[in-house]
Chain A
Amino acid sequence: MTTISCPKCGAKVGFDAGTKFTKCSYCGTNIYIDRSGAGFYYIIPFAVKENDAVGMFRRWAAGPTKVKDLDRLAQLAGVKRQFFPVYMFKREVNGKEQVSVEPAGSTILPGLHSLKIPAGDLKIYDASFDTSGAEIVQPDIEMLPYLNQLPGKAKEQALVYFPVWKLDYVYNLKRYEVVIDGSSGEGFASEFPVRGSAAYIAVAAAGFIAFAAEGLLAIYNLPIALGAMGLTVVGIFGSALFVARRM
């Protein structure tokens, strides 16, 4: 745990990313942690292991908007883990608290349309934090220019590293990229092989039209209409099962 010195007795007092007030365990002094004048480094640890990240990718790839069987047909070409940096600013503007998230690097994550701080257990990033071999993407935009531009009074400013799994896969000779949030498991992608709806719509529309026509027929010849409806039920069910399984 990160420590500060107690302003009264000088003892080390531990504090965490969310701590505002804490108590010195030696002299009992209450300490307010004033973040307005300092820049903090926070980091969200990985909660998702490599195997789980691949499993989450397979679930994502099996989703209804992705091409059928993408979870089985996609060939994984690389799995990388990274800590990705963003800036978080808490300001007081006209008496109101404002939180903004700004880019810290010129590279962007595919599919992450607006920058955010993903859900996670914020820790203070210092030498005691174990990154367990993950690459730490260095920020190439400085914090200072933002501080000079942002309105209001500073309450807190921090560089936040969040964990991501970057997975590359190949489908139909084309390379795609997915990012899995290493804390909550959310998947991001800007491009992926899309599943068409045509076959699904065709089955539903054919069934609807057939039943409407047979319904009209029913007042002229009930037995024939009922027989036709029975055949349609079997036909629609069979083709729907085929479409749902294979297309």
Chain B
Amino acid sequence: MDLSVGLSCPSCGGAISVVEGENVVICKYCNSTLFVEGDSGVYTIAFKNKVVRDSAIAASQAWWAKGLKARDLKRVGKIVECYPIYLPFWSAATRAAGWVCGYEERTYSDSKGNVRTERVPKEAMVLQDYAYSEIACDPGDLGIRNLRSLSGETSFADFEMIPTFEATTSKDDAIKKAREEAISRARASANIPHVTFERLHTFPKKLSIIYYPVWVVRYSYRERMYMNTVDGVAGGVLSGRAPGDPLFQSLAVTAGSSIGGLIAAAGILLSEMDWRIMIGGLVGGAIVLYVFYRFFRHGSEIVEGDFKERGASMRDVMAEVKDISKQIQGAYR
């Protein structure tokens, strides 16, 4: 079997050129319309890298100074390496269309304390296009999974110079995830609390690979190597790891235990009015304590972005609190 296959028009024999991802080609010699069979690949675009080394470093150093990172980071931190890479992302446009039917329950109570529940039937038509993006290789320790903005100037000019990470995940897996996400977003957009019937269809419209320029910045802090990434189109920091500061950790637990403790005390004191206030106060106080405790326990390293472990950042803590409350709700039901 030959590894390389020359592409020529089956009717006139002229050389034809196929753009990856397109499956209809017109022969420029005899105008035959040809269909590409088999592996036609995926439409590929690359965004122009608009950030230069100095501005990637400047963005990183500005990021070091922000937030609850080690106070001496800006002074002690030293850039060791700073280089651009192209990261591959699946970018899929999916149309979702269909109907969601169900009802909403409204509870009324009158002055005599009678409670009346009313069911309001609802139906909603959904017709919407959704954009989905996901990294097309293993994310490694870069802390990037999805892109927030998928716009930029298209250009393959730097493609030879910048190391390009190869797409190693399946395109059909990406389409499947894009469809699932389109369904769940369409369902959410219908805004119906209790769904009784639903028929939603998805139509994958376009799949492409976007090569997105990202600067990897590695820096040292007290003999340790940390990193952060900078968006090669917009110029901001996308993700990163940075040393924390024991001072902020201690302030966090002091604030958390005082606020949480006082909320709990207020709950206990007001329990004479309604026992539910006491439960609310204790639970509310415990949640406040937990959020601050997380920072106290894990705040020696500040992690921003989509890394595998959950760090001490507010977003990660809220995700964990949500998980726990879901579990409690599940057990309660």
On A, residues with C-beta under 8 Å from B are 4-8, 13, 17-18, 20-21, 23, 27-38, 47, 52, 55-56, 58-59, 62-65, 71, 88, 90, 96-99, 116-122, 155, 181, 183-187, 197, 200-201, 203-204, 206-216, 218-219, 229, 232-233, 236-237, 240-241, 244-245
Q: Are B261 and A59 in touch, CB under 8 angstroms?
A: no
Query: Can you spell out 30 A-B residue pairs with CB atoms less than 8 angstroms apart?
Result: A4-B3, A13-B4, A21-B19, A32-B4, A33-B3, A55-B220, A62-B224, A64-B299, A64-B312, A88-B168, A97-B170, A97-B171, A97-B173, A99-B168, A99-B170, A119-B137, A120-B166, A121-B165, A186-B140, A203-B253, A204-B257, A206-B257, A207-B254, A207-B256, A209-B261, A212-B261, A212-B264, A215-B266, A232-B258, A237-B251
B39 CB-CB contact with A under 8 Å: yes
Interface flags for B194-224 (1: CB within 8 Å of A; 0: not) read 0000000000000000000000001010011
Q: Are B301 and A233 in touch, CB under 8 angstroms?
A: no
14 further A-B contacts with Cβ under 8 Å, apart from A31-B7, A90-B170, A99-B173, are: A6-B4, A29-B15, A30-B18, A58-B225, A64-B312, A122-B168, A185-B225, A203-B253, A215-B264, A216-B265, A236-B253, A240-B249, A240-B253, A241-B250
Given contacts A184-B142, A212-B262, contact A20 B20 (CB under 8 A): yes
B61 CB-CB contact with A under 8 Å: no
The distance in angstroms between the C-alpha atoms of A216 and B262, with both chains bound, is 8
- Closest residue of A by beta carbon distance from B171: A97
Given contacts A32-B5, A116-B138, A241-B247, contact A233 B254 (CB under 8 A): yes
Q: Are B1 and A38 in touch, CB under 8 angstroms?
A: yes
| B contact residues around A55 at 8 Å (CB) | 80, 220, 223-225
Q: Are A18 and B297 in touch, CB under 8 angstroms?
A: no
Q: Are A52 and B80 in touch, CB under 8 angstroms?
A: yes
| A contact residues around B261 at 8 Å (CB) | 207-215
Q: Are B265 and A29 in touch, CB under 8 angstroms?
A: no
Task: Decide if the interface of chain A is mainly helix, strand, loop or mixed.
Answer: mixed
Give the total number of A-B pairs whose CB atoms are below 8 A apart.
236
The distance in angstroms between the C-alpha atoms of A86 and B290, with both chains bound, is 42
The distance in angstroms between the C-alpha atoms of A133 and B154, with both chains bound, is 39
Beta-carbon contacts under 8 Å, B17-76 to A: 17-20, 39, 41
- Name the residue in B5, B253, B285 with the highest tally of chain A Cβ atoms < 10 Å from its Cβ: B253
Given contacts A30-B7, A208-B289, contact A181 B140 (CB under 8 A): yes
Q: Are A7 and B224 in touch, CB under 8 angstroms?
A: no
Q: Are A204 and B262 in touch, CB under 8 angstroms?
A: no
The distance in angstroms between the C-alpha atoms of A104 and B21, with both chains bound, is 32
- Closest residue of A by beta carbon distance from B259: A211
| B contact residues around A5 at 8 Å (CB) | 4
Q: Are A62 and B300 in touch, CB under 8 angstroms?
A: yes
Q: Are A200 and B254 in touch, CB under 8 angstroms?
A: no
| A contact residues around B225 at 8 Å (CB) | 52, 55-56, 58-59, 185
B227 CB-CB contact with A under 8 Å: yes
Q: Are A59 and B137 in touch, CB under 8 angstroms?
A: no
- Closest residue of B by beta carbon distance from A4: B4
Q: Are A241 and B246 in touch, CB under 8 angstroms?
A: yes
B81 CB-CB contact with A under 8 Å: yes
Q: Are B256 and A244 in touch, CB under 8 angstroms?
A: no
Q: Are B1 and A37 in touch, CB under 8 angstroms?
A: yes
| A contact residues around B87 at 8 Å (CB) | 119
